[in-house]
């Protein structure tokens, strides 16, 4: 296994470009496929690309908000102390890898933005404390937990299709979470991954005598400096500074936010969507950070982790528009769905979703361009819509392990390059894929 990890790591370091370069290559490839496969003219493809470029600004903002506010929540003093308590119990490198995977996985299951950040933070803490930890691997291990978001509470497609008024409601109605992420097959899948993924990651750690790259302590010192400045003692005894550092103001606005959340769920019977998730994370962070000044300081830190997302998301929106407008998504889906039966449709949906996710890494946007065709296929084959939707979600979460887009916050926090960690995530992706394929095949056949 170590030889395999070394092979993929060396391969990625030699040939894998930075994420933005990868995005440019995908953009050009999408345009080329639209012209050669779908027979579109260069002018029509350019129009699709240009019109779609800014089409996901609202969604981009939602993604940026969830990451920045997730960062604030993950770095709050209460959270930090809890992580320190966990880290202080760890003595061995292999245990550190297991703990980083579990924290990243559980965090992502609860909320993907929170999990992305808290996993990397605990991985850095462990790398600093436990001597002999291979730093690129522990960051990759923490990021591998991100795949749990597809099975968890912020799983985009299941949450979307359980929400009244979703765009495809006329076609499939409302599908409750009890039939998707909380169904018995998906709960069992989550448990299998929760047990096996940490063990796999620990197995990948270099053995005695092999090269280990430890964390540079200067990384932590450089990132701790701005935080200390933003959370220092009150410099002046003025009304302005007292208001900036007022715990009462944070408490009042935090309680107001919690009150609205209670009304949303228990009085208005509201559902969980991206906006309410962001609302919860925002006001939980305000309460945990304690003062307006402390929260603003954390948000300013968090903004530094989303530069790559802000830059790259319009490019993904552009070639997602080309994928949808040119017919490429339907062509890819038809290749797989054409050989599917009612029992195997979830499997082929998973595989096609994995491929499409290279070009459309947002589960919500991904579903809007692949979902309609998969729904029609499920109707024609009399396959369950809940399995079809969940298969597309799992294909998305599976591909995210090797999709450079979502790892950007982890790279920003860890100061590593994509090529440093991708060799490990490729191996992790192979195992997660085996679990997901087995899950959707068994689910599909047992349902018939």
pLDDT, tens digit only, all 448 positions of the chain? 667 777 777 777 776 777 788 888 888 998 999 999 999 999 999 999 999 888 878 777 877 887 788 888 888 888 889 999 999 999 999 999 999 999 999 999 988 878 888 999 999 999 999 999 999 999 999 999 999 999 998 888 998 888 777 878 888 999 999 999 999 999 999 999 999 999 999 999 998 888 899 998 876 655 554 454 445 444 567 888 889 999 999 999 999 999 999 999 898 877 666 678 788 889 999 999 999 999 999 898 888 878 877 888 888 888 888 988 898 877 877 777 778 888 999 999 999 899 888 877 777 767 877 888 888 888 888 899 999 999 999 999 999 999 887 888 888 888 898 889 999 999 999 999 999 999 999 998 887 6
> How many other CB atoms sit within 10 Å of the CB of residue 293?
19
Whole-number pLDDT of residue 371: 83
Compute the C-alpha angle 8/10/16, nearest 5°.
85
d(CA 39, CA 394): 31
Tell how far CA 342 is from the center of its chain: 30
How many whole angstroms separate alpha carbon 394 and alpha carbon 367? 12
Residue 224: exposure state from Cβ atoms within 10 A (0-12, 13-18, ≥19): exposed
Which phi and psi angles does 200 have, rounded to 5°?
-60, -45
Q: How far apart are CA 379 and CA 171, in angstroms?
A: 10
CA distance 439 to 350: 11
Q: Say whether 447 sits in a helix, a strand or coil.
A: coil
d(Cα 163, Cα 171) in Å, to the nearest integer? 14
pTM above 0.85, yes or no: no
The CB density around residue 238, as the number of other CB atoms within 10 Å, is 10
Q: Given this model, what pLDDT does residue 223 score?
A: 54
Cα–Cα distance for residue pair 402/407, rounded to 1 Å: 9
Residue 359 main-chain phi, psi, to 5 deg: -100, -20
SS (H, E, C) 197-254: HHHHHHHCCCCCCCCCCCCCHHHHHHHHHHHHHHCCCCCCCCHHHHHHCCHHHHHHHH
Q: Which pLDDT value is given to residue 235?
A: 53
- Could you tell me if 111 and 153 are in contact, meaning their C-beta atoms sit under 8 angstroms apart? yes
What is the distance between the alpha carbons of residues 387 and 332, in angstroms, rounded to a whole number?
19
């Amino acid at each position: 296994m170590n030889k395999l990890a070394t092979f993929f790591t060396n391969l990625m370091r030699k040939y894998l470009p930075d994420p933005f370069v990868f995005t440019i290559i995908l953009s050009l490839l999408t345009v080329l496929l639209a012209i050669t496969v779908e027979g579109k003219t260069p002018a029509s493809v350019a129009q699709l690309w240009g019109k779609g470029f800014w089409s996901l600004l609202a969604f981009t903002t939602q993604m940026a908000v969830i990451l920045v506010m997730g960062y604030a929540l993950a770095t709050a003093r209460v959270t930090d102390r809890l992580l320190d308590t966990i880290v202080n119990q760890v003595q061995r490198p292999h245990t550190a890898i297991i703990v980083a995977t579990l924290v990243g996985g559980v965090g992502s299951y609860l909320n993907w933005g929170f999990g992305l950040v808290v996993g990397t933070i605990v991985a850095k803490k462990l790398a600093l404390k436990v001597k002999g930890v291979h730093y690129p691997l522990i960051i990759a291990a923490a990021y591998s937990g991100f795949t749990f978001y597809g099975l968890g509470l912020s799983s985009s497609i299941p949450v979307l299709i359980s929400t009244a008024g979703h765009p495809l409601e006329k076609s499939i109605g409302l599908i409750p979470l009890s039939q998707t992420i909380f169904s018995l097959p998906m709960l069992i899948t989550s448990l299998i991954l929760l047990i096996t993924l940490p063990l796999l990651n620990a197995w990948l750690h270099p053995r005695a005598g092999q090269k280990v790259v430890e964390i540079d302590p200067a990384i932590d010192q450089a990132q701790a400096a701005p935080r200390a400045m933003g959370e220092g003692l009150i410099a002046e005894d003025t009304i302005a500074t007292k208001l900036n550092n007022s715990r009462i103001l944070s408490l009042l606005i935090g309680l107001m936010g919690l009150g609205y959340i209670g009304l949303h769920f228990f009085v208005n019977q509201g559902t969980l969507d991206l906006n309410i998730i962001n609302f919860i994370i925002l006001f939980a962070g305000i309460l945990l950070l304690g003062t307006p000044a402390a929260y603003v300081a954390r948000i300013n830190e968090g903004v530094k982790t989303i530069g790559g997302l802000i830059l790259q998301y319009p490019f993904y929106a552009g070639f997602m528009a080309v994928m949808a407008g040119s017919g490429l998504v339907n062509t890819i889906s038809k290749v797989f769905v054409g050989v599917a039966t009612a029992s195997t449709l979830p499997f082929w949906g998973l595989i096609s979703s994995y491929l499409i996710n290279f070009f459309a890494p947002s589960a919500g946007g991904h579903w809007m361009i692949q979902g309609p065709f998969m729904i029609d296929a499920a109707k024609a084959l009399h396959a369950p819509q809940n399995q079809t939707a969940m298969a597309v979600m799992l294909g998305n979460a599976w591909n995210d392990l090797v999709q450079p887009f979502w790892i950007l916050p982890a790279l920003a926090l860890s100061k590593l390059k994509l090529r440093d960690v991708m060799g490990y995530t490729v191996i992790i992706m192979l195992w997660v894929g085996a679990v997901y394929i087995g899950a959707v095949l068994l689910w599909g056949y047992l349902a018939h």
